[in-house]
């Protein structure tokens, strides 16, 4: 049996990826050591970093070079070979790190690369790459762990229609905050409102006036995932003792280098706290708690998971482009094979 | 008896103040209400804000307009009239707010404007406007209260030859950190080293190379009081989980408006915390603790207080210019009258 793996063929120019970015290679099925498993991949996670790590000028932390296998923040699929008693053949498993391809060898006992047995009766498979995966954990860290958010405060969530922002806003609602999203376009804003956000501002048509209307008394808490003009505007509206939880700056991942940031005098004058986070490894020990709580909230309908799917490893570049262009709603995935558990 | 008060005559152009900035007016001695005192001023505090508050474009929080009495962060002097039993005539008193002039009426019972009885045997009068005044409390807040600093960490102090920075660095040494100052010119750097800093970098001749040499493993903690290029460089050298305690941005107080700041992606990637503070009213309840501790450290020689004096209310503008141009060493003061307690 052969498997298919996705390699980086060439680094892209600024702008969309093309079919020349990745190279699909047939390879022999890897041998399993004791307590390893082979997962037939059904879904792969696509993130802002999927584009960022192909950009040697961008700010993203991890860089890929031609000849390296493409990687991402998780795969979910069916166990098709197993030398691990907790992961029998025919069961399902999710990871939070993935080498892109049709199959993935995993070592569930390696704490550096967690693998979870997942029950498709409890949550759909794709949710394990979204609300229950690193995406959800990023939102959870930014809202619950990195900086305090109190009930009744006004929280603003950037990139609110994105996978992380959508979950972050739902968490902020669970926390009891008044939650305002920022997203691009009226369809996305409608989607964000449908998630239970109190309002959503379309940054393409109504950023400054809209945000001032939605936050007449200013902003207490900001979930930052974009950078640029939105960051500057939000900073200028932060209230005394406000908190800005820094998850990322998507706006600058694609080729623009590092544009200047906002003047920070307001950090002094309003006694603000700005704090960045990488959910792993800093908060790794909270991952179990996050999954248990979010699983319960999914069941209660207090958190909703959505995903956008592009089918086929040969279209991996289009999945990355869909995310970069903001065409996705919820979590962007590459679907690698039919999901036998989907209704 | 008449007193002399200093009023703002006209707002300055960018650059140094001139003798036209302030206007000295003779006024009748104010009447005292019950439990009020009249202080014959010996020293007045000059701060970065003394220039900043005359600048309608600058970032400083407080603005003065022509016709208003000049103000500052404290006066110390002799009680010459008293209707308060704790402040007898002939005793000495210090304030942390002052209207500039030869005399100042004060209400020691008003919690919004503290007045302290001071004993010239314990500390020199001028120290109550420096290490024991709002200057010292600002440093104390930035090092001990606003964000944690651990023994053995590398702390960088900007404006280290300034009144606040000089004390901040001495506090950071008391905390057990390795402390690197940044100051302008070799004389100032020598002064900063004489205070016990482990090293001091001359930003005029050796900023980037010097700081990299002094902090080969990066920076854990930064006491920020300048903004601009130094802020950008320090941010680029911050280590994982580093903390930037934001006191001010002196570089932009004089007329330049709000230049762009640094790109904040590193806040995410290194999981940094940036936190601004205004020592009052946020930390007012710690003021007594600060004075008691610092008084002890002064006595033990672990904190040293220095001041630079310009004599005469008619030279108030030159005292402000001396500070703006960085000609002061330690705390910049206007000496209004002979200090009868000075040896």
Which of A247, A258, A276 is nearest residue B263 as measured by Cβ atoms?
A258
- Note the pLDDT tens digit of each residue in A71-90: 999 999 999 999 999 999 99
Residue A62 has what pLDDT?
A: 79
For chain A, which residues make up each domain, given as ranges? 2-130+305-335, 134-280
Cβ atoms of A29 and A83 within 8 Å: the answer is: no
The pLDDT value recorded for residue A111 is: 83
Q: Which residues of B touch A262 (CB under 8 A)?
A: 260-261, 264
- Chain B residues inside the 8 Å CB shell of A261: 260-264
In this prediction, residues B64-73 reach a mean pLDDT of 95
Interface check for B280 against chain A (CB to CB < 8 A): the answer is no
Is the separation of the CB atoms in A222 and A248 below 8 Å? no
| Residues B110-124: tens digit of each pLDDT | 988 889 999 999 999
Residue pLDDT, tens place only, B247-268: 988 766 655 567 899 999 999 9
Q: According to the model, what pLDDT value does residue A327 have?
A: 87
Closest C-alpha among A109, A165, A110 to residue A138? A165
For range B112-137, the mean pLDDT: 93
Cα B95 to Cα B104: distance, rounded to the nearest angstrom: 10
Q: Residue B60 — very low, low, confident or very high, per pLDDT cuts 50/70/90?
A: low
Answer whether CATH 3.40.50.12240 is correct for domain A2-130+305-335. no
Give the pLDDT score at B336: 98
Please tell me which of A43-57, A249-263, B117-131 the model is most confident about, judged by mean pLDDT.
B117-131
**Interchain contact A63–B (C-beta under 8 A):** no
CB of B240 within 8 Å of any CB in chain A? no
For chain B, what percent of residues have pLDDT higher than 90? 85
Q: What is the mean pLDDT of residues A226-231?
A: 94
Burial of B120 (0-12, 13-18, 19+ CB in 10 A): middle
| Residue A100 near residue A335 (C-beta atoms within 8 A) | no
> So what's the pLDDT on residue B106?
96
Q: Judge whether B145 is closer than 8 Å to chain A, CB to CB.
A: no
Q: Is the pLDDT of residue A13 over 60?
A: yes
A273 to B274: CB separation less than 8 angstroms, yes or no: yes
Q: What percent of chain A has pLDDT over 70?
A: 96
Mean pLDDT of all residues in A280-288: 92
Contact (CB<8Å) B264/A246 = yes
**At the topology level of CATH, where does A134-280 sit?**
Rossmann fold (3.40.50)
% of residues, chain A, pLDDT over 90: 86
How far is it, in rounded angstroms, from Cα A217 to Cα A177?
14
Is A259 part of the contact surface with chain B (CB cutoff 8 Å)? yes
* pLDDT tens track for A181-218: 999 999 999 999 999 999 999 999 999 999 999 999 99
Instruction: Tell me the CB-side half-sphere exposure of residue B30, using CA atoms within 13 A.
Output: 19
Question: Closest-CA residue in chain B for A223?
Answer: B268
- Give residue A249's pLDDT: 83
Mean pLDDT (chain B) is: 94
Parallel, antiparallel, or unpaired for β A154-157 and A75-82?
unpaired
**Contacts with A, B 88-107, CB within 8 Å:** none
Q: What is the mean pLDDT of residues B271-298?
A: 95
Do A265 and B249 count as a contact with CB atoms less than 8 A apart?
yes
User: ipTM of this model?
Assistant: 0.91
Please tell me which residue, A32 or A280, carries the higher pLDDT value. A32
pLDDT tens digits, A134-167: 999 999 999 999 999 999 999 999 999 999 999 9
Instruction: Name residue, tokens 């992606």.
Output: B265
> Looking at residue A286, what is its pLDDT?
96
In angstroms, the separation between the Cα of residue A251 and the nearest Cα of chain B is 11
Which residues in B lie closer than 8 A to residue A272 (C-beta atoms)? 274-276
Q: Which of A276-285, B60-69, B175-184 has the lowest mean pLDDT?
A: B60-69
pLDDT of res. B337: 97
* Number of CB pairs, chain A paired with chain B, less than 8 A apart: 112
Contact between residue A323 and residue A26 where contact means Cβ atoms under 8 Å apart? no
A236 touching B (Cβ < 8 Å)? no
Distance, CA of A257 to CA of B212 (rounded, Å): 23
Minimal Cα–Cα distance from A117 to chain B, Å? 30
- The pLDDT assigned to B264 comes to 95
The angle subtended at Cα B41 by Cα B40 and Cα B45, nearest 5°, is: 165
The β-bridge partners of B343 are none
- How far apart are the C-alpha atoms of B239 and A170, rounded to whole Å? 32
Whether residue A265 and residue B252 make contact (CB cut-off 8 A), yes or no, is: yes
Best to test chain B binding among A138, A262, A268, A273 (most B CBs inside 10 Å): A268
- B277 has a chain A CB within 8 A of its CB: yes
H/E run at residue B137: helix B134-140
A252: buried, middle or exposed (CB in 10 Å: 19+, 13-18, 0-12)? buried
Taking the Cβ of residue B264 and every Cβ of chain A, the question of whether any pair is shorter than 8 Å is answered with yes
Question: Any CB–CB contact under 8 A between B252 and chain A?
Answer: yes
pTM for this model (two decimals): 0.92
Average pLDDT of chain A, as a whole number: 94
Mutation site, B60, B141, B276, B278, interface A, largest A CB count within 10 A: B276
The pLDDT tens digits for B303-337 are 999 999 999 999 999 999 999 888 888 899 999 99
pLDDT, mean of residues B124-148: 96
The helix (H) or strand (E) run that includes residue B296 is helix B287-300
Q: Do B264 and A227 touch (CB under 8 A)?
A: yes
Output the pLDDT for position B138.
96
Answer for the pair B167, B303: CB distance below 8 angstroms, yes or no.
yes
Distance of alpha carbon A153 from alpha carbon A155, whole angstroms = 6
Contact B98, B66 (CB under 8 A): no
Instruction: Kindly state the average pLDDT of the residues B267-287.
Output: 94
* Predicted local distance difference test score (pLDDT) of residue B58: 63
């Amino acid at each position: 049996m052969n498997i298919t793996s996705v390699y980086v063929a060439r680094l892209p120019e600024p702008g969309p990826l093309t079919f020349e970015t990745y190279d699909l290679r047939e390879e022999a099925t890897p041998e399993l050591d004791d307590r390893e498993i082979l997962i037939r991949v059904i879904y792969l996670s696509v993130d802002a970093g999927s584009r960022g790590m192909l950009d040697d000028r961008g700010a993203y932390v991890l860089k890929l070079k031609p000849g390296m296998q493409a990687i991402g923040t998780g795969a979910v699929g069916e166990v098709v070979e197993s030398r691990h008693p907790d992961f029998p053949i025919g069961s399902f498993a999710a990871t939070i790190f993935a080498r892109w391809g049709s199959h993935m060898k995993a070592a569930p006992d390696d704490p550096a690369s967690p693998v979870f047995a997942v029950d498709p009766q409890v949550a759909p498979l794709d949710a394990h790459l979204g609300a229950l995966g690193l995406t959800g954990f990023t939102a959870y860290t930014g809202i619950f762990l990195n900086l305090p958010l109190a009930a009744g405060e006004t929280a603003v969530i950037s990139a609110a229609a994105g996978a992380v922002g959508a979950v972050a806003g739902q968490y902020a609602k669970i926390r009891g905050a008044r939650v305002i999203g920022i997203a691009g376009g009226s369809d996305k804003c409608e989607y964000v409102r449908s998630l239970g956000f109190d309002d959503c501002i379309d940054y393409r048509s109504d950023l400054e006036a809209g945000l001032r209307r939605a936050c007449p008394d200013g902003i207490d808490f900001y979930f930052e995932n974009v950078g640029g003009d939105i960051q500057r505007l939000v900073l200028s509206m932060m209230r005394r003792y406000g908190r800005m939880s820094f998850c990322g700056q998507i706006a600058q991942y694609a080729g623009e280098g590092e544009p200047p940031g906002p003047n920070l005098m307001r950090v002094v004058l309003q006694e603000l706290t700005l704090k960045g986070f990488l959910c792993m490894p800093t908060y790794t020990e909270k991952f179990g708690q996050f999954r248990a709580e979010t699983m319960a909230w999914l069941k209660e309908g207090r958190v909703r998971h959505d995903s956008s799917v592009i089918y086929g490893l040969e279209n991996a570049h289009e999945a990355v482009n869909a995310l970069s262009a903001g065409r996705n709603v919820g979590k962007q995935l590459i679907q690698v094979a039919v999901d036998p558990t989907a209704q």
